Amino acid sequence: MQWSDTVYNVSQTKEPIVDYRKQQGEGYAPIAINGTTVERVSSFRFLCVHITEELTWTLHTTTITKKARQRLFFLRRLRRFNMDSRILCNFYRCSIERILTFYRCTVESILTFYRCTVESILTFYRCTIERILTFDRCTIESILTFYRCSIESILTFYRCSIESLLTFYRCTIESILTFYTGWDFRKQF
């Protein structure tokens, strides 16, 4: 752009087309900067998040789980060599948990910025958690026990009501309280 003295790197500039019409138009004119045509792509990375033309989380979720699975291999190797549990925990937190939490924070900031719905966030987390849990064959209870999360911190973090959280996880108040306190409420009443 000569009028603003701006220099663009056209080789790194990408153009995705998002078109939700039933009959998609074919006559999109390519964008040209200084006589060079900008490349059209079906997906691209923005703030370490993979965004596709369909605006789905599939590519991003598979990328995160692929990175986590690659690092889980080394965690299993360390466990096979009978390493101390503290070393295994530190390795997990430094290599695997860092990936998952970084991408979660990035996605949350983008979703907050673009004001997406809570349902899309929950769908994204459910897909990611299901893929990791089915791969590692662990349960949600073991993850909650490992991190010693409390119900209050989860509800405060996600700013949702207890009814929506219980509907999402398909459980009852008694089962959660029994799990966290070890006290069976059914025997008392």
In three-state form (DSSP H/G/I as H, E/B as E, the rest C), the secondary structure along 6-49 is: CCCCHHHCEECCCCCCCCCCCCCCCCEECCEECEECCEEEECCE
What's the pLDDT score for residue 16? 74
Each residue's pLDDT tens digit, 61-117 = 788 778 878 888 888 888 888 888 888 888 877 777 777 776 665 555 555 544 454
The whole-angstrom separation of Cα 88 and Cα 106 is 26
The whole-angstrom separation of Cα 148 and Cα 115 is 30
Question: What count of other Cβ atoms lies within 10 Å of the Cβ of residue 65?
Answer: 20
Run of H or E including 82: none
Each residue's pLDDT tens digit, 177-189 = 555 555 554 554 4
Whether residue 1 is predicted with pLDDT greater than 60 in this model: the reply is no
Q: Regarding predicted confidence, which is higher, 150 or 65?
A: 65
What's the pLDDT score for residue 164? 52
The residues spanned by each domain of the chain are: 148-175
The whole-angstrom separation of Cα 181 and Cα 175 is 10
The position carrying tokens 């948990």 is 97
Report for 25-29, 36-40, 134-138, 157-161: range of highest mean pLDDT: 36-40
Range of lowest pLDDT (35-39, 77-81, 109-113, 155-159): 155-159
Above pLDDT 90, what percent of the chain? Answer: 0
Which among 138, 106, 104 is positioned nearest to 122, based on CA atoms? 104
Give me 178's structure tokens.
């029994």
- Strand-pair category, 36-37 with 32-33: antiparallel
The whole-angstrom separation of Cα 157 and Cα 27 is 46
The stretches of 47-117 forming alpha helices (DSSP H) are 58-80, 85-91, 98-114
Dihedral angle sign, alpha carbons of residues 5, 7, 10, 15: negative
